[in-house]
Amino acid sequence: MKPPPAGFWWARLRSFRYAWRGIVYLVRTQGNARLHLASTILVVILGFVLHVTRGEWCLLALASGMVWAAEALNSALEYLADHVTMEHHERIGRVKDMAAGGVLLAAIAAAIIGGVVFIPKLLVLVGVRCCAG
């Protein structure tokens, strides 16, 4: 197998820069992304304070990543739709609503995962031992 051309790796590094720029733009311009950022920070702090297991970290990271990816795709779709036309179009509105619904579904799933991981640990912390697993 032939090695990739010399410029291949530089192009990959540039693509990470563009992706990071998109994440920064997402957080700067989208209020919901700032809420996701605050939630992610809270989850990480709680994870350290409550000493979550490696498996629990994996679930929390997967859930957080799922919400972030859904929010980024939803925002990108809305941005593109608004670029195409600012006039009201029923089909475009439905597409935007479905994408927003996808974010909501991801957030609900993440909240359930967070509850499964954190609630038993918080109950133990406050002295309730009936539900700790």
Domain residue spans in the chain? 31-125
Q: Is the pLDDT of residue 115 over 90?
A: yes
Q: Token pair 């799933």 is at which residue?
A: 109
- pLDDT over 70 at 130, yes or no: no
Q: What SS3 class is residue 104?
A: helix
pLDDT in tens, 11-34: 888 899 999 999 999 999 999 999
For 88-112, how does the pLDDT look when each residue is reduced to its tens digit (9 = 90+)?
899 999 999 999 999 999 999 999 9
> How many Å apart are CA 8 and CA 31, to the nearest integer?
36
Is 71 an active-site residue?
Answer: yes
Q: Using CA of residue 71, residue 77, residue 81, residue 83, what is the dihedral sign?
A: positive
> What's the CA gap between 61 and 40, in Å, rounded?
9
Whole-Å CA distances, 48 to 51, 57, 60, 85: 5, 10, 12, 46
Structure tokens, 46: 């709680």
Spot the catalytic one: 71, 78, 87, 90: 71
Share of the chain above pLDDT 70, in %: 95
The CATH topology of domain 31-125 is Helix Hairpins (1.10.287)
User: Is 66:110 a contact under the CB 8 Å cutoff?
Assistant: yes
Q: Tell me, what's the pLDDT at 59?
A: 98
pLDDT tens for 56-76 read 999 999 999 999 999 999 999
